[in-house]
Amino acid sequence: MTQAIQILIIGLTLGGVFALMASGLTLIFGVMGIVNLAHAAFMVAAAFISFFAYKGLGLDPIASIVLTMPVMFVVGLVVYRLFFARSIDDPKKRSVLVLVTFAMALVIEGTLGFFFSNIYRSTNPPYAYDAFLMGPFYLPKGQFYATLMSALILGALWAMLRFTRLGYAIRATTHNRTAAEVVGVNVDRVSMFVFGIGMALAGASGSMISFLFSFYPGKHWEWVAILLSLVVLGGMGSLLGALIGALSLSVISAFVNSAYGPTWSPVTFYLALFAILLIRPQGLLGKKPEL
């Protein structure tokens, strides 16, 4: 029983970080209707920003979100204007935008590999190797701090969506893009800001990745499969679904890791993605598509 509770603690703390990673991806899909395959690549890029800020400036990786989030937000606005603004309202063109994000991921990976080489890196703040001791249990400080910060960011995101005019416009656009435009919502501007917010969330996730995991330019391909499994399980476009999917799959993965080793742990996410697409393609909280 003690071991099971310990595994549960580890799984839940990582699940909070996974929820932050998946939130930007599912938010962009909910508003724009595209799967951003470059999301994980932007996360890795943000992890490099956090890494060099830590090595060069001594900036704590968690504190580096004050740098990575604004930088990635601006990058998101620019990327949207360059690649999505003229195509997002055309259903025929929107269907191929996922290929644009795939190409974008390749470009980011190649650029990072050219400048920084494909070697593993990670920041090493003191708390990354320390833990809180609670009787027979322990709680890694790095995972605890990252989960706490992730909860604060997700709480701020929820409050923005719930209580601000931009949040009302985002929710209206997510529910029905055409109807929102009819009642006066500037869906193009909303989409631009949502893409920027999604990239800012990727920036915050990159700061967490920089000390929780080792990373290199090609690491994003492993992350994008995990993120897709999280958002598909919860329901594409559902933030609550992404949270449920992140926590549940993270806990299951932790138990698989304990029983069969770290090699089999990622298989949990791939099998979940395969199973949910076969059994319930809309996910737990997603809407069933209408014919």
> Under 8 Å CB-to-CB from 71, ≥6 apart: which residues?
46, 49, 203
Q: Which residue has the tokens 């703040």?
A: 125
Q: Which residue has the higher pLDDT, 267 or 52?
A: 52
Mean pLDDT value across residues 151-176: 92
List, for residues 228-267, the tens digit of each pLDDT value. Answer: 888 888 877 788 888 888 888 889 888 988 888 877 888 8
**Can you tell me the distance from the alpha carbon of 126 to that of 141, in angstroms, rounded to the nearest whole number?**
9
Whether pLDDT at 133 is above 80: yes
What is the number of other CB atoms lying within 10 angstroms of the CB of residue 254? 22
Cα angle at 30 between 26 and 33, to 5 degrees? Answer: 105
Domain residue extents for the chain: 17-217
pLDDT at 287 (0 to 100): 62
Q: Taking residues 110-132, report their average pLDDT.
A: 90
Which of 41-55, 110-124, 161-175, 232-246 has the least mean pLDDT?
A: 232-246
Q: Per-residue pLDDT for 290 more than 60?
A: no
User: Confidence band (pLDDT; 50, 70, 90) for 168?
Assistant: very high
**Average confidence (pLDDT) over 9-27:** 90
| Cα-based distances in Å from 103 to 40, 97, 156, 261 | 13, 10, 32, 34
pLDDT at 18 over 80: yes
Q: Of the candidates 232, 154, 238, 168, which has an alpha carbon nearest to the alpha carbon of residue 197?
A: 154
Residue-averaged pLDDT of the chain:
88
pTM, two decimals, is: 0.92
